[in-house]
Structures are given as structure tokens and as C-alpha cells.
């Protein structure tokens, strides 16, 4: 007897696609259900990501759940309406299909009518994936072209800094907008430029503004970075700058463009040209100066936390003279917010570098030397994990109730429309609101189900925890500085200090990735290569993330 093929249906629609092109989740599902019925295939699950873009796999909780079920051997075939529902980037598409192939799961696209079980089908996949990515890139290029044209004509794009507000309408492609000066904020901008032109540094300016109660456009205290961004923005001198960074979504500041568009704007300036030129001359001069270099090796920068405000602590030092006249350098970890935003926000709360680093390594060793303490820690972890299950399930039930209520509302409006008791415009408006709420609820439900699935795992064995910490401790003692710092930042999530600035607890997080790359055996031929960690034997493999506090 021929075995029934188990099919998982995957559907996706972004908010923009639903609004502009009328793509429908229901239509995708109905089409794929009919396909499975026609070919007598069993539907074992429907995975739907609503209101989510396909440009990446992040935030697509239903796709993640689908891949987990593939890995668990619950699926024989994955069916989609079009391949761009699965991914819009060719590299993402091929990686997903390769994952399916690795687990002997076929991939079928209804619209393109091909499967990956044949050579011609795999060729078609590559071809259609490239076409889909070309389509997306063409849309992106068209949007960029529109933004570029606006910038060249002296019009702004996107958000504006403090000092200005946007007036006018922005309906689709018809963006009849202009920048208008906010007088109260313009006074602050002039104050910042004048303070810097008078010789004050970034930190001194941020500290003074914070003490005087000023805040950024996002209502946060000023930092040195925020001040620098304002001083470097030509919008205040009546210019429009565009394309300063290319491909920001992936490259961030590494994608800086040396030749951005810079045009005279259609908006009034806040700063006169003479003041602007003076500030830019000072910025260049200070930027060419050598940056401070601290002696010693700061292993815990960014992961040790300020006991007062919780911000990450950074490297600092003091230089004093001893009684015999020689210089003595003392190295510390100090609050990053204090160093960036001044004493109005927090205090230094410094802890000596050597003291902090020794306390962390001693804490790890002491846990290994006292099994009773570690057993109590593991017991506490397992109790917390099991204690989270009920609240998660209760929250999931509330999502199900809200989803059911929205379904009822949608059916009621459909009935009213079919009986001609409401007109099309009202029906469309109400349905759009309901669909938006439904998409949000279903997305959150998918996130919760994924989280719940991870939390119902079996209790964490004591032997596993001890083995991982033992490996971690061994590597810290054997590895050179660069690897040791990398390992600390991978494994240690946070280090908390008490009110006397002593190490209170250390939060460790182990995952399958850290185990694979850092806690497993390193090839003997490349023991000295960058990223290789000297260790013998093999660390225990595990599939869940494990966080403990010691």
C-alpha cells in the first residue's frame, strides 16, 4: 500500500502586499488545500506568517516552527503558493530548500508548478528564486531613485532631527511636504554649535545639557554620540544629505558612502555658514588626533553592569604619583553612561580591573569545587523553567480567545455586507482594521508557541551543566587573550555588582552554537590559529539554550 505524503502548507503576506496588491492568506490556503485534496496528500499542518516581510527570516515564527517540525521528521513535503512566499532573497530560499533536502523533505511551489525532487525542478528553483530577488531589488531601486530625486531637488527624506518638523501631506507617491523650524529647539541647536565652537568637548556639552534638563528627539539624555551626530548634520546649515550609508539594513556603518548626495535644501537653515565652517574645522582637527589607548587587557568591557543604573561598564584608568615620584596607573571598569552622559545621569561606580576579573574566574572555579552549590543552582533553573509553562499556556489561551472574537467580528461584517446592510467602503474599512488586529494576534501567538515549545523541554541534567562550566573554566585558563575575551563575551551574558561594587553574580548562557564552535574539540593542526581553543575531548551536545546564574 502506497504511503500517504504528509504535507505542510506555508503561507505569508506582508502588510504592504496585502494593502497594495490584495494578496490573501485565505486564498493561498484554499489553493494549497485543493492541491493536496486533488493529489490525495495529507495536510499535517498549516504555518502562516501574517503581516511580515519576506526580505529575511527574522521574526517569522511560523517558518521557524515549520523548520523545527521538518527536523523532527513530521513532514514529507512543504507546499507554498509561490516561492517568494517562502523567501524573497535567493540565498535565504536556497538555504531553506537545502535544509529541507537534508531532511528528505520535498518542496513544491503551486504557481510555478515545480518540485525539487528532480534536476529540472532544482534548476527551476534557482531560476525562479533569482527572478523573485530581481523583482524585489527592482522595487527597492525604484524607491531609492525616488528618494535620490527628492534629495537632488533639495527635499528631505525620512526622519528629521530636533530643530525641525515636517509640514504637509505624504499620501503615497505625492509627498508635498516641507521642513519648518521649531523655534524652541532651534535655540538648543545653536547653543550646541556655539558651545563646541568655543572649545567645549562632546562629553562636557552632553553633561551640561543633561543637567539643564534637555533631552534628544527620542526623549533620552544626550550622549557624546548624539552630540556628534548633530554637529555633523548639514541639514542645520540648509543642506540636504542623502545616501550617506549604503545598504544600511545589512552593512550598518560599514557601508559608509564617501560621496553622498549633498544639495542646497528648500528649508531654512538654523546655523549660519561661518559657525558651521568653524565647527567642522574643529571636528576634523580633533578627529585626526590619536585616540586614547588604555594599558592592560580589559576582558569584561560591556558585560559587567553598573550597580546603580544597570548600564554596561567600560574601561577607564587613573594615573597617580607615588611617594617616590614614580607614576602609578590604576585600571578600572566604570559606568558607561557616566562616561558618556555625565554625572547628572549616573556615577563612576568604578571597580578595579584585576579585582573584577579575578572575582569572575574565582566564582566559576568555586562552583566547580562545591557540587552542592551547583546542584542547588541546577535545581533552581529547572524549577523556574517548569514554573514558566503555566503562565505561557494561560497567555496562549487568551490569544486564542481574542483570535476567536476577531473571527466572529469578521463573519458578522461579512454577513452584513452580503445582506446589503452596510456599504462597501464601510465594510472594507472595518475589515482592514480587523485583519490588522488578527495579523498581530496570530504573529504573537506563533511567537508564544515557539517559546512554549522550548520551555517544555526535559529538565536540565546536573552532569550537563557541570561539564559545560568545566569546559568553560578550562578554556579560560588555557586560551590566549583574544580567544579568552571572545569566549567571555559569548558565554557571559551579564555580571552584576552589589552596592559595595563587588561581583554579586555571573549570568552564563550556553547555546548549541557556543557548544559547537567553542566548547568542542579544536583540530590539533590549527591549535594556534585564530579562533581555535585548546581543549581535549568532546563537550556534550545539547539542542536547547541554557542560562544559569552563579
Element (H, E) at 372: helix 371-387
CA atoms within 13 A on the CB side of 292: 7
Task: Write down the H helix ranges in 388-531.
Answer: 389-418, 424-455, 462-478, 481-491, 512-518
Cα 532 from Cα 480, distance rounded (Å): 10
Residue 154: Cβ within 10 Å count: 14
Q: Scan for cell 576582558, then name that residue.
A: 299
CB-based contact 237:181 (threshold 8 Å): no
316 is catalytic: no
CB-based contact 526:506 (threshold 8 Å): no
CA atoms within 13 A on the CB side of 520: 11
Lookup: cell for 545: 539554550
| Sheet (strand 351-352) strand order | 313-321, 327-335, 351-352
Cα 366 from Cα 374, distance rounded (Å): 9
Lookup: cell for 232: 555633523
Element (H, E) at 8: strand 6-13
Lookup: cell for 415: 454577513
Q: Scan for cell 574539540, then name that residue.
A: 521
Three-state SS at 25:
helix
Alpha carbon of 298 to those of 288, 301, 359, 481, 494: distances in Å? 25, 6, 14, 10, 15
CB-based contact 206:226 (threshold 8 Å): yes
Cα 438 from Cα 399, distance rounded (Å): 10
Alpha carbon of 80 to those of 93, 268, 481: distances in Å? 12, 52, 49
Cα 339 from Cα 311, distance rounded (Å): 11
Distance between terminal CA atoms of the chain? Answer: 57
The strand pairing partners of 496, in sequence order, are: 505
Residues belonging to the active site: 14
Amino acid at each position: 500500500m502506497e504511503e500517504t505524503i504528509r504535507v505542510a502548507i506555508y503561507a505569508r503576506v506582508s502588510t504592504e502586499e496585502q494593502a497594495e496588491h490584495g494578496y490573501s492568506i485565505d486564498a493561498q490556503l484554499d489553493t494549497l488545500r485543493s492541491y493536496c485534496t486533488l493529489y490525495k496528500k495529507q495536510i499535517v499542518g498549516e504555518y502562516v506568517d501574517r503581516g511580515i516581510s519576506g526580505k529575511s527570516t527574522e521574526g517569522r515564527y511560523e517558518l521557524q516552527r515549520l523548520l523545527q517540525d521538518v527536523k523532527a521528521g513530521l513532514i514529507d513535503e512543504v507546499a507554498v503558493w509561490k516561492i517568494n512566499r517562502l523567501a524573497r532573497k535567493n540565498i535565504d530560499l536556497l538555504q531553506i530548500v537545502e535544509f529541507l533536502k537534508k531532511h528528505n523533505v520535498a518542496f513544491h511551489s503551486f504557481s510555478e508548478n515545480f518540485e525539487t525532487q528532480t534536476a529540472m525542478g532544482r534548476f527551476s528553483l534557482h531560476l525562479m528564486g533569482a527572478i523573485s530577488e530581481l523583482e524585489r531589488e527592482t522595487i527597492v531601486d525604484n524607491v531609492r531613485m525616488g528618494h535620490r530625486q527628492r534629495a537632488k531637488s533639495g527635499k528631505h527624506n525620512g526622519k528629521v532631527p530636533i530643530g525641525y518638523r515636517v509640514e504637509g501631506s505624504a499620501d503615497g507617491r505625492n509627498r508635498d511636504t516641507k521642513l519648518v523650524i521649531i523655534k524652541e529647539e532651534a535655540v538648543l541647536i545653536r547653543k550646541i554649535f556655539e558651545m563646541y565652537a568655543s572649545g567645549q568637548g562632546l562629553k562636557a556639552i552632553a553633561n551640561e545639557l543633561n543637567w539643564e534638563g534637555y533631552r534628544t528627539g527620542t526623549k533620552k539624555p544626550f550622549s557624546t554620540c548624539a552630540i556628534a551626530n548633530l554637529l555633523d548634520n548639514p541639514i542645520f546649515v540648509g543642506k540636504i544629505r542623502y545616501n550617506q550609508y549604503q545598504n544600511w539594513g545589512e552593512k550598518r556603518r560599514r557601508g559608509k558612502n564617501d560621496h553622498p548626495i549633498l544639495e542646497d535644501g528648500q528649508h531654512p537653515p538654523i546655523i549660519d555658514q561661518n559657525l558651521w565652517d568653524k565647527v567642522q574645522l574643529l571636528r576634523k582637527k580633533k578627529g585626526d588626533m590619536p585616540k586614547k589607548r588604555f594599558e592592560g587587557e580589559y576582558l569584561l568591557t560591556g558585560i559587567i553592569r553598573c550597580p546603580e543604573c544597570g548600564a554596561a561598564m567600560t574601561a577607564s584608568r587613573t594615573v597617580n604619583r607615588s611617594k617616590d615620584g614614580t607614576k602609578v596607573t590604576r585600571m578600572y571598569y566604570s559606568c558607561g553612561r557616566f562616561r558618556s552622559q555625565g554625572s547628572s545621569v549616573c556615577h563612576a561606580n568604578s571597580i578595579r580591573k584585576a579585582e573584577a576579573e579575578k572575582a569572575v574566574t574565582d566564582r566559576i572555579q568555586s562552583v566547580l569545587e562545591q557540587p552542592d552549590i551547583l546542584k542547588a543552582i541546577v535545581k533552581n533553573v529547572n524549577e523556574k523553567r517548569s514554573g514558566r509553562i503555566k503562565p505561557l499556556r494561560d497567555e496562549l489561551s487568551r490569544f486564542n480567545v481574542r483570535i476567536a472574537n476577531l473571527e466572529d467580528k469578521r463573519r458578522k461584517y461579512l454577513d452584513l455586507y452580503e445582506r446589503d446592510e452596510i456599504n462597501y467602503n464601510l465594510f472594507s474599512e472595518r475589515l482592514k482594521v480587523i485583519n490588522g488586529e488578527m495579523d498581530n494576534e496570530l504573529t504573537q501567538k506563533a511567537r508564544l508557541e515557539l517559546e512554549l515549545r522550548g520551555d517544555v523541554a526535559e529538565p536540565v541534567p546536573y552532569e550537563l551543566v557541570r561539564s559545560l562550566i568545566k569546559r568553560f573554566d578550562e578554556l579560560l585558563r588555557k586560551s590566549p587573550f583574544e580567544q579568552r575575551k571572545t569566549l567571555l563575551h559569548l558565554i557571559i551574558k551579564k555580571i552584576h555588582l552589589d552596592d559595595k561594587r563587588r561581583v554579586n553574580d555571573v549570568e552564563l548562557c550556553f547555546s548549541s552554537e557556543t557548544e559547537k564552535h567553542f566548547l568542542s574539540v579544536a583540530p590539533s593542526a590549527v591549535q594556534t590559529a585564530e579562533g581555535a581553543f585548546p581543549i581535549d575531548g568532546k563537550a556534550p551536545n545539547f539542542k536547547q539554550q541554557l542560562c544559569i546564574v552563579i
